[in-house]
Amino acid sequence: MPRMKAIQAAVKVMEKEGVSVAFGVPGAAINPLYAALKAHGGIGHILARHVEGASHMAEGYTRAVAGNIGVCIGTSGPAGTDMITGLYSASADSIPILCITGQAPRARLHKEDFQAVDIASIAKSVTKWATTVLEPAQVPQVFQQAFHLMRSGRPGPVLVDLPIDVQLAEIEFDPDTYEPLVPYKPAATRAQIEKALSMLNASERPLIVAGGGIINADASDLLVQLAELLGVPVIPTLMGWGSIPDDHPLMAGMCGLQTSQRYGNASMLASDFVLGIGNRWANRHTGSVDVYTRGRKFVHVDIEPTQIGRVFAPDFGIVSDAGAALKLFVEVAREWKAVGQLRDRSAWAAECQGRKHSVDYLRKTHFDSVPMKPQRVYQCMNRALGKDVCYVSTIGLSQIAGAQFLHVYQPRHWINCGQAGPLGWTVPAALGVRVADPARKIVALSGDYDFQFMIEELAVGAQFKLPYIHVLVNNSYLGLIRQAQRTFSIDYCVQLAFDNVNMAEGEVARGYGVDHVKVVEGLGCKALRVHRPEEFAPALAQAEAWMAEHRTPVVIEVILERVTNIAMGTEIDNIVEFEELATQPTDAPTALALLD
């Protein structure tokens, strides 16, 4: 049996499990792993500037491509605690990432050693498994179990904590005979699918709610097949956006309190039956359970048994991987359609589609004011970026307005931190997406505060040649919190504006504060500033030319008016529209954010 250091065995296991790159920051307690990575030579490494940034890069890497598992690495103590936000974000959105931390020697764990912290206990509530390995011989199997757990059932993150003496101990391990464990995924039965379809068939105005579990299962094609067989409109959740193209006739819009379209909410309220697949009934999607469920029946399909009934009790629940359930749904629906057993839904589908092109349900985007309104920025993005763009965003008015006005046409082309929504997530996540797919057209979207949180990670993009475009909408406010403070009639501690004495008059409106152009360029990237709608497309062309030549991120900063309230409300039937609605519809399939 070959003998090697335990940490060398861990690297061999990662290779066998498909790991080809890791994101992290080296340190004293994890240097043995870095030595093993260098000696191995087959696993690349991206050096983050902040360990939280490494965890979000791992998230972006996982979210971008089916089958990926991002790996983030840090030393002992604060490196692990810095990655807790990334673990929480991954856990909340069912994203598998592997976090590896160094640790003090076993004999000193109870002596309050320098940078020694019980990171496994800290991480337990935001991981599927968090463990400190105390026996060197267990290292290969602990890593094997980590990958098995991340892929089984509801996906999620794992943390493995390695005392430095455990890493350095010699063990026996034969990598040539190693095989990954087959992940466990529950599957629906035919009887369950037939019952669910019978309930749908008995309804008058059914909808399918498509959650992020469909994208996790790489089953978007099956979703579209099912919708077309049944003729039933689809409402994707924010995490399921892209599972059906925005211009598909059966895409009915999104529903919710913030990241939704008026026509999506209206179709939900008009429905009498909902088949939810791979979704959590998140509160930003539902609002109150009473309003959301009133007058309609529900079937809920989810891979995690404890999700069934967590928010409200459905009329029928099915524990199943979304892909396995959809495959059987399609099979049964095809059989029923062949014998005329499915009802004709064309009138209901046409009603839902009609809302998408009716001025009664469309928000205005064609504002000519300068500084620009955010609605006009998204109109410019829709016109200039095309249908193959992949958006990356996290939280704030920028993300909310983006979800209301932008369009997504493919799965994994809306990379979004859905439940946790940590500020600063966007830059490192976009870099992780770029590592996962070197050819994809990536456009990140941030407000100025999200952008400033982890702006230092742009240097990673410059160092490792990871180009992408970052649209920065700058109103010098914590915009979402400012809007929320209206409830208390205050505008307090949410202003980012100040007179920057280093900025020349005319560079930007006085009082906008941070000179993002100088900061970005100081980090080795390119920045462009846009004031007017007609400047956006030329800036985009300039950004693309820069990336082709220099292979670094490019930031397009758009100066917004300071205060714009974005449509949102307390219930899906009580959304406040702060701006006027559109006055002229269009049938253009790539411009559903309608213009005057």
In tens, the pLDDT along 419-431 reads 888 999 999 999 9
Mean of all residue pLDDT scores within the chain: 93
Is the Cβ–Cβ distance between 356 and 249 less than 8 Å? Answer: no
What would the DSSP string read from start to end of 228-276? HHHT--EEE-TTTTTSS-TTSTTB----SSSS--HHHHHHHHH-SEEEE
| Token pair of 287 as six digits | 């609002």
Number of H helices, E strands in the chain: 24, 21
Higher pLDDT, 437 or 499: 437
| Token pair of 57 as six digits | 């890069």
Task: Give the global pTM.
Answer: 0.94
Is the Cβ–Cβ distance between 566 and 483 less than 8 Å? Answer: yes
Higher pLDDT, 430 or 116: 430
Residues near 490 by beta carbon (within 8 Å), at least 6 away in sequence? none
Model pLDDT, residue 585? 60
User: What angle (nearest 5°) sits at the alpha carbon of residue 309, between those of residues 305 and 310?
Assistant: 85
Q: What is the DSSP letter of 26?
A: -
Encoded amino acid at 415, one letter: I
Which H or E element spans position 119? helix 119-123
Which H or E element spans position 23? strand 21-24
Is the Cβ–Cβ distance between 373 and 560 less than 8 Å? Answer: yes
In the chain, the percentage of residues whose pLDDT exceeds 90 is: 82
Position 594 pLDDT exceeds 60 = no
Residue 16: CA count within 13 A, CB half-sphere: 20
Model pLDDT, residue 591? 45
At residue 77, the 3 state secondary structure works out as: coil
Determine the distance from the C-alpha atom of residue 445 to the mean position of all C-alpha atoms in its chain, rounded to a whole number: 12
Strand-pairing partners, residue 557, are 472, 529
Position 588 pLDDT exceeds 70 = no
Residues near 107 by beta carbon (within 8 Å), at least 6 away in sequence? 165
Distance, in Å, from the CA atom of 116 to the CA atom of 29, rounded to the nearest integer, reads: 10
| Token pair of 417 as six digits | 């931190």
Position 177 pLDDT exceeds 60 = yes
Q: What is the DSSP letter of 368?
A: -
Distance, in Å, from the CA atom of 91 to the CA atom of 419, rounded to the nearest integer, reads: 9
In the chain, the percentage of residues whose pLDDT exceeds 70 is: 96
Distance, in Å, from the CA atom of 533 to the CA atom of 531, rounded to the nearest integer, reads: 7
Q: What is the DSSP letter of 310?
A: T
Higher pLDDT, 478 or 384: 384
Nearest to 453 by CA among 421, 497, 423, 417: 423
At residue 330, the 3 state secondary structure works out as: helix
Model pLDDT, residue 509? 54
Distance, in Å, from the CA atom of 539 to the CA atom of 397, rounded to the nearest integer, reads: 23
Distance, in Å, from the CA atom of 590 to the CA atom of 413, rounded to the nearest integer, reads: 15
Least confident window among 91-100, 104-113, 341-350, 508-517: 508-517
User: What angle (nearest 5°) sits at the alpha carbon of residue 419, between those of residues 416 and 420?
Assistant: 95
What would the DSSP string read from start to end of 570-591? EETTEEE--SPBPSS----TT-
Nearest to 317 by CA among 277, 289, 284: 277
Model pLDDT, residue 33? 98
**Confidence category of residue 586, pLDDT binned at 50, 70, 90:** low
Cis geometry, peptide bond prior to residue 371 (ω within 30 degrees of 0): yes
pLDDT tens-digit readout, 269-303: 999 999 999 999 999 999 999 999 999 999 999 99
Determine the distance from the C-alpha atom of residue 72 to the mean position of all C-alpha atoms in its chain, rounded to a whole number: 17
Please give the C-alpha separations between residue 15 and each of 113, 147, 178, in angstroms, as whole numbers: 32, 12, 11
Position 593 pLDDT exceeds 50 = no
Please give the C-alpha separations between residue 233 and each of 44, 237, 243, 249, 594, in angstroms, as whole numbers: 44, 13, 13, 8, 21
Would you name the residues annotated as active-site residues? Answer: 25, 51, 423, 478, 481
Model pLDDT, residue 229? 97
Distance, in Å, from the CA atom of 426 to the CA atom of 395, rounded to the nearest integer, reads: 9
Cα end-to-end distance, the chain, whole Å: 73
Model pLDDT, residue 506? 61
Delineate the domains of the chain, giving CATH numbers in brackets.
3-177 (3.40.50.970), 190-358 (3.40.50.1220), 364-566 (3.40.50.970)
**Confidence category of residue 510, pLDDT binned at 50, 70, 90:** low
Is the Cβ–Cβ distance between 86 and 156 less than 8 Å? Answer: no
Is the Cβ–Cβ distance between 31 and 101 less than 8 Å? Answer: no
pLDDT tens-digit readout, 351-407: 999 999 888 888 988 888 889 999 999 999 999 999 999 999 988 888 999 999 999
pLDDT tens-digit readout, 528-561: 999 999 999 999 999 999 999 999 999 999 999 8
Model pLDDT, residue 503? 78
Average pLDDT (232-254) is: 96
Average pLDDT (564-573) is: 90
**Confidence category of residue 40, pLDDT binned at 50, 70, 90:** very high
